[in-house]
Chains A and B, each alone.
Chain A
Amino acid sequence: GAGVSQSPSNKVTEKGKDVELRCDPISGHTALYWYRQSLGQGLEFLIYFQGNSAPDKSGLPSDRFSAERTGGSVSTLTIQRTQQEDSAVYLCASSLGTSLTLQYFGPGTRLLVL
């Protein structure tokens, strides 16, 4: 497809389990962003990649969160030992670069931690 895709679209997990969320950016987009939107909250920046490197990891809420990007394309956001407060919609976006360009968002992964 031509857009950003994310999988799974929905994930229900038990507290304490690990989850992996995947993002496939638009082909050729070098920048990739992860955000989350919790109920009643705005979009919270988590991390962004320029190529395979993540210059800024300060947005990750805790050390249970990690992200990687391989081959300058697909990215995986991993949440270890999930907690109920991790329940949110996790959105991925990509852009041609971090300069004056637009971000294209995926549909998000809805995570529910029971």
Chain B
Amino acid sequence: DQQVKQNSPSLSVQEGRISILNCDYTNSMFDYFLWYKKYPAEGPTFLISISSIKDKNEDGRFTVFLNKSAKHLSLHIVPSQPGDSAVYFCAARSRGGQFYFGTGTSLTVIP
């Protein structure tokens, strides 16, 4: 059963606008959340993370928001750039040290 879900398989955004990628999880004991970015034929690369004790973490154009009561995570990219076009995976870490990934959202930023 999928413990981390990304319900939007794809998203298209105009260059310069905001991209919002969403992620839902079921396990309230997850203590750390991450976003990974993946280009074709490459392994995922770390993008940004957030601890469960925080509700927001910002790094340049990327901001991750955590809503623990809703078990919801989102990644905001603003302004979006064509180079941001990739598949974005949401991941959550259990107390046992395992990482659970969503199925990914393919972002296309249109120039």
Contacts and interface: CB of A to CB of B under 8 A. Distances in A.
A35 B44 CA distance: 11
Contacts of B25: none
Interface string A27-67: 00001010100001111110010100001100100000000
Given A42-B104, A45-B100, A48-B97, A100 B43 contact: no
B103 A4 contact: no
Contact of B46 (A41, A103, A107): A103
B44 A43 contact: yes
Interface residues of B, number: 25
Nearest to A41: B103
Please indicate which of the listed interface residues A55, A99, A105 has the most CB atoms of chain B within 10 Å of its own CB: A105
Given A100-B32, A107-B43, A42 B2 contact: yes
B98 A56 contact: yes
Given A103-B46, A106-B43, A45 B97 contact: no
Contacts of A99: 97
B76 to A, nearest CB: 20
B104 A108 contact: no
A105 B99 contact: no
Contacts of B2: 42
A114 interface: no
Contact of A105 (B43, B49, B96, B103): B43
Interface in B17-54: 32, 34, 36, 41-46, 49, 51
A98 interface: yes
A35 B101 contact: yes
Given A43-B101, A43-B104, 13 more contacts: A41-B103, A42-B4, A43-B89, A43-B91, A50-B97, A55-B96, A93-B43, A99-B97, A104-B46, A105-B36, A107-B41, A107-B42, A107-B43
- Nearest 10 CB-CB pairs, A to B? A98-B97, A105-B43, A42-B103, A43-B101, A42-B101, A102-B46, A105-B44, A107-B43, A42-B102, A106-B43
